[in-house]
Amino acid sequence: MLLVLMAATVVLAPVAERWSLPYPAVLLAFGLLLAFIPNVPVLSPPPELILPLVLPPLLFAAARRTSWREFLDNRRPITLLAVALVGVTAFAVGSTLHALVPTVPLIAAIALGAAVAPPDPIAATAVARKLGIPRRLRTILEGEGLVNDATSLVIYEVAVAATLTGAFSPWSSGKAFGLAVVLGVVAGLLIAVATRFLITRLPAHPAGSALVLVAPFVAYAAADAVHGSGVLAVVTVALALSRYGDAESSQTRLVTGTTWEIVELLVTGAAFAFVGLELRAVATSIDAPLGELVVQALIITFVVIVVRFLWIFPVAAIDERLHKRKSHVAEPIGWREMTVSSWAGMRGVVTLAAVLALPPQFPERDRLIFFAFVVIVVTLLLQGLTLPTLVRRLDVRADESEQDDAVQDMLRRGREAGFTKLDEIAERDDADAEVIEHARENADRMWHAMGYTPSDVDSQGDDSDHAVTVNALKDEMLTAAREAVVEARSESGTDPTIVDLVLRRLDARGRQPE
């Protein structure tokens, strides 16, 4: 069955892209249809293995697309969404659930609220990137999707522990939350340092690539062992490992970049198809009228959606008035962007993993799982399928010319750094002048092939007499160019996706001999 879900992901994801739809929504619909086939087997994954096996690869893949600077430049809106809104949603959902089903204690209901509070980082950004929404709005949604998982899971773990032990202390819970954040970040930094140390001493491929694939799982397990946030540990590792431009990192990055895209596609697609597949089985396992279950689930879903609107519009408006953004940081947020942000609250894999990880003795466990599945289904199908239309109708689009200019600026920065390095080599007389000139001509052609339009390309044929030396010079120039481009990640106003785009072009050129 798992192979069937993965194969369906491979086939349906391109179809969804062609229709400009989030592929998680299409896979979810496939799972729902699959559930009505007679004798379809029911999957029963071990609850204790879901979080450590599913979350690390998805979080790492998503976190690789952003940077520390993006977080810092937009720390206020990200914090208001990823921390404050998650807490408000968890309490609102918990209170509603407790009122609807009094047999569920309030603290247990808050556990479900924490599970359904965080929007999925994959579903929203898949639409955001496909439709080209403004960079700041995309950054806020991506940052929220990464950080809110940590907030929700810490609240979730505290609520689950309090439900099972019968003891709850606000002071102890707050202390546990703060400690989990600190220990998670520290664990992530330590794993990142160790990973970076090993990458420079292992063959770039396959050992170095395999190490990067293992690192997020190690970070999650290490943070969990010291009662820290595994989510923050994984995000920290991903952000820390994206800041190197040397040759070893470039070879590893070429392999792991493609591999993580494949892992993200298969795990996400299979997980959403699993939700649709299991929804019918979960509903039949609950000793309650189906109509009553559906009404209760839809009320909870309504609360999840409305709370996001009620929070974003007033809070975002106040934040924008009190803290005017500098012009070079990003574009302002208006009511159109607020509407898109409010509607981009699709729930997904984190909600699935958290609710399935509830212990077997948890009060009304099957009912809570059904509620969470309905929240995922409704938000993903309703909001996910209509979000592209909403973005087009409101015309919340980034200026394509600005992105092209940003690409050219980044290419120019890398090119200048590479030629500066070549000039330094020429001044040291480390290579023959003829070889230096030949390297310069090849570099001009290389930058033109990567899309640097202002350069004039010499059409003369290549001279292969000093091919080895020329390639060595090219490698030094490319390393300097990568370092200059990677350094731009830490600067305000730099779009990390542009950095990644130019880095991929540099990395690809580094694998081609002249």
The string of pLDDT tens digits covering residues 99-133 is: 999 999 999 999 999 999 998 866 666 666 666 77
For the chain, the residue count is 514
pLDDT, residue 511, reads 53
CA torsion sign for 218, 224, 226, 229 is positive
pLDDT, residue 324, reads 57
Instruction: Please indicate whether residue 475 or residue 354 has the higher confidence score (pLDDT).
Output: 354
- Cα 283 to Cα 275: distance, rounded to the nearest angstrom: 12
For the stretch 216-252, pLDDT in tens is 999 999 999 998 888 889 989 988 887 665 655 666 7
- Cα 110 to Cα 442: distance, rounded to the nearest angstrom: 62
Instruction: Please indicate whether residue 172 or residue 2 has the higher confidence score (pLDDT).
Output: 2
pLDDT, residue 201, reads 85
pLDDT grade for 338, boundaries at 50, 70 and 90: confident
**Where on the phi/psi map is residue 216: left (φ > 0), alpha (ψ -120 to 50), or beta?**
alpha
Helix crossing, 121-131 with 47-63: angle to 10°?
A: 30
Q: Quick check: 89 and 267 in contact, CB under 8 A?
A: no
Average pLDDT over residues 378-407: 80
pLDDT, residue 328, reads 42
Report the half-sphere exposure of 176 (CA within 13 A, side-chain side).
Answer: 18
- Cα 237 to Cα 240: distance, rounded to the nearest angstrom: 5
Average pLDDT over residues 89-104: 95
Instruction: Please indicate whether residue 161 or residue 243 has the higher confidence score (pLDDT).
Output: 161
Q: Is the pLDDT of residue 167 over 50?
A: yes
* C-alpha distances out from residue 141 to 82, 234, 336, 340, Å: 9, 18, 15, 10
Q: Is the pLDDT of residue 463 over 60?
A: no
Out of 166-175, 246-255, 262-271, 311-320, least confident range: 246-255
- Cα 45 to Cα 8: distance, rounded to the nearest angstrom: 19
pLDDT grade for 461, boundaries at 50, 70 and 90: very low
CA torsion sign for 469, 472, 476, 478 is positive
With a pLDDT cut of 70, the percent of the chain lying above it is 86
pLDDT, residue 255, reads 77
For the stretch 13-71, pLDDT in tens is 999 888 877 788 889 889 989 888 888 887 777 777 778 888 888 888 877 777 677 77
Q: Quick check: 28 and 273 in contact, CB under 8 A?
A: yes
Identify residue 34 by its one-letter amino acid code. Answer: L
* C-alpha distances out from residue 262 to 10, 57, 118, 150, 259, Å: 10, 10, 24, 24, 5
The three-class DSSP label of residue 216 is helix
- Cα 273 to Cα 26: distance, rounded to the nearest angstrom: 8
Q: Where are the alpha helices (DSSP H) in 379-494?
A: 385-394, 400-427, 433-449, 467-487
Instruction: Please indicate whether residue 358 or residue 143 has the higher confidence score (pLDDT).
Output: 358
Out of 119-128, 212-221, 426-435, 476-485, least confident range: 119-128
Q: How many helices and strands, by DSSP H and E, does the chain display?
A: 22, 0
Average pLDDT over residues 373-385: 90
- Cα 184 to Cα 359: distance, rounded to the nearest angstrom: 23
Question: N- to C-terminal Cα distance for the chain?
Answer: 48
Q: Quick check: 212 and 195 in contact, CB under 8 A?
A: yes
- Cα 375 to Cα 53: distance, rounded to the nearest angstrom: 23
Q: Quick check: 181 and 227 in contact, CB under 8 A?
A: no
CA torsion sign for 493, 494, 496, 498 is positive
Q: Quick check: 341 and 254 in contact, CB under 8 A?
A: no
**Radius of gyration (Cα) for the chain, nearest Å?**
25
Residue of 494, 369, 508 whose CA lies nearest to 446: 508
Q: Is the pLDDT of residue 326 over 50?
A: no
Cβ neighbors of 169 (< 8 A, separation 6 or more) are none
pLDDT, residue 379, reads 92
- Cα 383 to Cα 200: distance, rounded to the nearest angstrom: 45
Tokens of 215: 């690192």
Q: Model pTM?
A: 0.75
Instruction: Please indicate whether residue 470 or residue 348 has the higher confidence score (pLDDT).
Output: 348
- The CA-based angle 33-130-137, given to 5 degrees, is 115
- Cα 224 to Cα 357: distance, rounded to the nearest angstrom: 15
pLDDT grade for 378, boundaries at 50, 70 and 90: very high
Average pLDDT over residues 480-502: 83
Q: Where are the alpha helices (DSSP H) in 230-332?
A: 230-240, 247-284, 290-322
Domains in the chain and their CATH numbers? 2-398 (1.20.1530.20), 401-510 (no CATH)
Q: Is the pLDDT of residue 330 over 60?
A: no
